[in-house]
Structure 1
């Protein structure tokens, strides 16, 4: 990833965190295996092997099963355990084995879940699905925290949006690969039902590579950034002190204000995957997995380029992205609400040769795009809340992923119920979208305006000092390469 030459307003280049604080590891020659591009690639490959392949299985429609009940219940168990493992990940896991060790540990539980789906699909075994879901939940919460912290902290500020888009591309790569494999194996299956069990053997093999790929990550202290800034991502506080700090950040108004916005973004995954399973044939589900992944990759990377565009004020980038995302989401939830209200009575199973397939299938593609751009935008929000404080990045990453997990546990749990799977999930997610908008706006409206705190009623006040001793206006400008503007 090349350095950006964009500057802020006026003729002067935008100041950066690196110009404010001298760094000890400035380097004139960067070893390729220490570079941020290499490490984001390794992180992406881990994402592909673990949650990417997990997403590939779910994008087949409820894990490729004939009925969504068992798989959605197992996913609910996974996300319940992820809430716990996310919460303890910073104070215990990172504190004792470091961020790289946390990433390796986090990849271990995914393959057992795939094995459970395989035995269920082929032999009807149910207990291994639940055991695999539990093992996945224990490890995946740690993985989610670790990868989020690495994705935010490793790249240079001017490349962070592009790095996020590039990293999240690998997760969708798993979905695309899974869809392509499944489409090839089931191209002639135009009926509802479960997918071929052969698919899972490929998935198990890919997920088993995750820990070995994670071993290739450069430890934070050895990363060589183009700007010379050191990366540490270490937790030095005692475990209980760290847990208290994380808890305080969760209950701060600025984080509580985005809890519903996180919910409307991630609750959708179970809803549209279940929608695909309930109303479409096996080969149509495979086609959906394949195509949705491709268009989501494109849209996510376009958003990453936009939020990195430092020639545009942070205020403009944040607000424009927010309003575009919520407007599109509103349109798509309206569309799918009309669909499921009709399908609940007509009980169709759509194949790609059937009348009405386009209207039914198109909204699934758009909701997948919505999930991807919402997901990337959440990292943009978290970065602007945390600034350049690496302990705060770890804590906010844990809080973001733990909150996501809690919402997804509720989502998958509810969609294991027949009525909720068919119509209730869509109705609830539409309502959640509407309720989330104003609280999220209370936080986002401060980005680029001198404060990220909703407790501060003035957008132009720099009287409050943050954890680093820098005024919020200056901290925001520094963390985003924005020039520090004088308060009016």
Structure 2
């Protein structure tokens, strides 16, 4: 007896659903890299988000972060080439391992108040972060299907930032009963971070190389298995006069630059320790909402890919203007020296809290938007790993400068204005890049088909 049309349709849909949950499917690999980043940079973000690394004096943290982002700037750019040579396992595991050392250095600082270990650990973490984020960028921009890159980026960003949510709960819970007496976090906070980071390092070994990842239509993500040192050095050098990368520079520079202001001049200076942990739960939770929202706009708002890109950039630009305007209003109204607590300062707490929440929303939308643009410039993992590495390198150079600006006691208002100007300058350049360089979905898929020979999903499952 033959199957009915409905049964055939149901069988087809079930097959598609099953294929998405293959271990070597883009979705599962994106979820896995999200979990890795949940454990490592997610916990690092929670640690940084407390302001001063959870210490009363920000000097050690600022110097450690300057060292971190200085080496990150170099290895972020080199990271794409290293990833192309070593593949995901060695690149990710080496990168993740350095996060544990960094959290441990603040555990040491809690007892000895010697910042040298923290600075050295920061420099080592910069190397590791360059490797991890170059690998993450290559995976996020090349593994997903062309018409779902925004959605996959939002899935990754949500999982990753859940790490910040959980990481915010750690200092909030462990320091809750200390109330206003607490000026630095306790040892258990740093140990909790180290445990999660160690799990992330082990989990990184589960990521498959691009050549073994197969999309639902049977196409592989790339035809390139390994590169060589000479080729990578040459291709990385070319990035510095690639007009597409030059248009991304202002967005890359500003995208971590604003953390210094948000963490040290909003969260750290306006709230007590337990409230900073509480705020971070919502800051990183807002990132999840922001990434999902902008992912929908970039993938589904219009049929035209270019139009989706332009609209997405416009949405972020308008939201950013409103949030930075709110930050300026908060800066003008705030009372010098006033420290707020979420339980005892309800009327004065609401405004700064909403501002900090909005900063989290903006960060996710801004960075997801830039990743979407980068992912729309090419299809091949080898090319996109270099693009992502360049983005992270420039981003980290900006962050290194920002942390030292803060060490030079530049006023909060001046830092706010610098951030507002930097992000505003980036939007028209991204508009131009989308209009000139982003291909429509059909053209991009044809290019991808020329680069990558399709293979059987069923056969690839057993590889």
**Equivalent in the alignment of 1:111:** 100
- Of residues 381, 393, 415, the one that matches 2:373 is 381
- Of residues 124, 130, 142, the one that matches 1:153 is 142
1:286 paired with 2:277, answer yes
What do the CA deviations read for 1:144-195 (whole angstroms, capped 9, x no partner)? 1001101111122233222111111222111111111222122241367222
TM-score of the superposed pair, with normalisation by structure 1: 0.82
Structure with the higher helix share, 1 or 2: 2
CA distance 1:154–1:473, shift in 2 (3 Å): closer
**Equivalent in the alignment of 1:254:** 244
CA distance in 2: counterparts of 1:284 and 1:478, whole angstroms: 52
**Equivalent in the alignment of 1:361:** 353
**Equivalent in the alignment of 2:290:** 299
Q: CA RMSD in A?
A: 2.5
CA distance 1:282–1:43, shift in 2 (3 Å): same
1:177-216 aligned at under 5 Å gives the runs: 177-188=166-177, 189-190=179-180, 193-216=183-206
CA distance in 1: counterparts of 2:400 and 2:349, whole angstroms: 30
Shift of 1:29: 6.2
**Equivalent in the alignment of 1:462:** none
CA distance in 2: counterparts of 1:122 and 1:418, whole angstroms: 26
**Equivalent in the alignment of 1:335:** 326
- Of residues 131, 137, 146, the one that matches 2:120 is 131
Give secondary structure in 1 for the equivalent of 2:376.
helix
**Equivalent in the alignment of 1:219:** 209
Shift of 1:83: 1.3
What do the CA deviations read for 1:240-270 (whole angstroms, capped 9, x no partner)? 3322222222322222122112223321122
**Equivalent in the alignment of 2:90:** 101
Partners of 1:76 and 1:413 within 8 A in 2: yes
CA distance 1:36–1:389, shift in 2 (3 Å): closer
Give the stretch that moved more between structures: 170-179 or 225-234.
225-234
**Where has structure 1 moved over 6 Å in runs of 4 or more?**
28-31, 471-474
What do the CA deviations read for 1:4-29 (whole angstroms, capped 9, x no partner)? xxxxxxxxxxxxxxxxxxxxxxxx96
Shift of 1:94: 2.6
CA distance in 2: counterparts of 1:265 and 1:357, whole angstroms: 27
1:240-279 aligned at under 5 Å gives the runs: 240-275=230-265, 276-279=267-270
Partners of 1:452 and 1:472 within 8 A in 2: no
Shift of 1:233: 7.1
CA distance in 1: counterparts of 2:237 and 2:327, whole angstroms: 37
Give the stretch that moved more between structures: 350-359 or 130-139.
350-359
CA distance in 1: counterparts of 2:116 and 2:240, whole angstroms: 35
1:435 paired with 2:408, answer no
**Equivalent in the alignment of 1:122:** 111
Give secondary structure in 1 for the equivalent of 2:23.
helix
- Of residues 382, 388, 395, the one that matches 2:386 is 395
CA distance 1:378–1:165, shift in 2 (3 Å): same
Give secondary structure in 1 for the equivalent of 2:300.
coil
1:86 paired with 2:86, answer no
Give secondary structure in 1 for the equivalent of 2:294.
helix
CA distance 1:473–1:366, shift in 2 (3 Å): closer
**Equivalent in the alignment of 1:419:** 410
CA distance in 1: counterparts of 2:223 and 2:194, whole angstroms: 31
**Equivalent in the alignment of 2:395:** 404
